[in-house]
Structure 1
Amino acid sequence: MKTLLVLRHAKSGWDDPVARDFDRPLNPKGQRAAVAMGRYLRDQGLRFDHAIASPAVRVEETLAQVANGYGETIAPAWDKRLYLASLGTLLDAIEALPDTADVVLLSGHNPGLEELVLDRVSAPGPLRDAVEQKYPTATLAELRFDIAHWAEASRADAELVRFVRPRDLDPSLGPDA
């Protein structure tokens, strides 16, 4: 059994005058949402053996704020391929994960993360329906694979165990707040 925690970066600041999209930082609401998601991970007892992430500034800042709420440092393997990664690139990265890790945190960007969840989860249900509607920033999906090796992930169906948005944790973090 392998578990993948799929975390989209928190809300970034479009008002910040940066030269490259890669360098966009989080805005204050994004920072609060990431801390809330870290607390949720801690309170739910969600532990992970390994983490991989896009090195974009907004992902780095998301994981730093998640770590603040979680109460532990998160030291991911930064992978440039994960910056705005396609479904195929994400699956390649997952297949290359070490089999010694049973639970992995993957943090990056949409639309790739949403496509990943929808591609691997074929069973209909309310959680999958919610993913189809929108995969908001700082949202966490938990996928469980009945596999022994990560190399099998691109050919395996996953069970969508949870789909948690920041507004589910704190209504003030919703889109209209």
Structure 2
Amino acid sequence: MKTLLLIRHAKSSWNDPDVDDFDRPLNKRGKQNAPEMATRLATRGIMPELLIASPAKRTKTTARMMAKEWHYDRDAIMFEDELYLCYASTFLKVITKVDDDIDTVAIFAHNPGITDFANYITQEIRIDNIPTSGIFAVQANTDSWKDFDSARKSFLFFDYPKQEVV
């Protein structure tokens, strides 16, 4: 079994309209939400073995903040240029490169691609939007990431900062 966590970057700042989209930092809420969501994931007993992120500042910062909460070596985070504002199909290209010794992967990326990909990989649930700091999790019945696309997948959960924790 392989577990995939799709994590949208935390809330970014729009305070400076002259800052390039790629270089936008997190705002105060984003800096609070990222560690909170990392803690929620740890409470579920799910710990990613590999973090892959878009290199945009807001995504990089989100991944590093969550890594800190998980005691994950932030220097081990993989940054994939192609995840910046990508289409849903790009996620499959990234996933198939993951070593099969790794069972749980977290991918940090952007909308609309991350929401489109979440809807592509599951038939049992459809979502309109993965909000900032949101986590969408699925499990694939396969031993190889190369077979992720064709494997039977089960929806695990969808969590985000404003959702009531039960």
- With normalisation by structure 1, the TM-score equals 0.85
Q: Secondary structure at the match of 1:110?
A: coil
Structure 1 residues 37, 73: CA separation in 2 closer, same or farther (over 3 Å shift)?
farther
> Following the alignment from structure 2 to structure 1, what is the Cα–Cα distance between the partners of residues 81 and 164?
30
> Following the alignment from structure 2 to structure 1, what is the Cα–Cα distance between the partners of residues 59 and 29?
14
> Among the aligned pairs, what percent are the same residue?
32
1:152 to 141, 147, 150: 147
Tell me how far 1:69 sits from its aligned partner: 3.6
Q: Secondary structure at the match of 1:168?
A: coil
1:6-44, Cα deviation, whole Å (9 max, x unpaired)? 110011011134442100000101111101111112222
- Which residue matches 1:134? 129
- Which residue matches 1:37? 37
> Following the alignment from structure 2 to structure 1, what is the Cα–Cα distance between the partners of residues 89 and 70?
30
- Which residue matches 1:98? 99
> Following the alignment from structure 1 to structure 2, what is the Cα–Cα distance between the partners of residues 51 and 23?
20
What is the identity, as a one-letter code, of the residue corresponding to 1:77?
Answer: M
Tell me how far 1:95 sits from its aligned partner: 1.2
What is the identity, as a one-letter code, of the residue corresponding to 2:87?
Answer: S
Tell me how far 1:73 sits from its aligned partner: 3.8
Unaligned runs of 5+ in 1: 171-177
Partners of 1:42 and 1:71 within 8 A in 2: no
- Which residue matches 1:173? none
Partners of 1:141 and 1:163 within 8 A in 2: yes
Aligned residues, how many?
164
Partners of 1:7 and 1:107 within 8 A in 2: yes
Q: Following superposition, which runs of at least 4 residues in structure 1 exceed 4 angstroms of deviation?
A: none
**Following superposition of structure 1 onto structure 2, how do residues 56-135 of structure 1 map, counting pairs within 5 Å?**
56-74=56-74, 75-123=76-124, 128-129=125-126, 132-135=127-130
Tell me how far 1:148 sits from its aligned partner: 1.4
Tell me how far 1:88 sits from its aligned partner: 1.2
- Which residue matches 1:7? 7
> Following the alignment from structure 1 to structure 2, what is the Cα–Cα distance between the partners of residues 50 and 65?
15
Structure 1 stretch 43-52 or stretch 78-87: which is displaced more? 43-52
How large is the RMSD of aligned CA atoms in angstroms? 1.7
Structure 1 residues 154, 77: CA separation in 2 closer, same or farther (over 3 Å shift)?
same
Structure 1 residues 71, 167: CA separation in 2 closer, same or farther (over 3 Å shift)?
farther
> Following the alignment from structure 1 to structure 2, what is the Cα–Cα distance between the partners of residues 71 and 37?
14
> Following the alignment from structure 1 to structure 2, what is the Cα–Cα distance between the partners of residues 65 and 16?
22
Tell me how far 1:72 sits from its aligned partner: 4.1
Unaligned runs of 5+ in 2: none
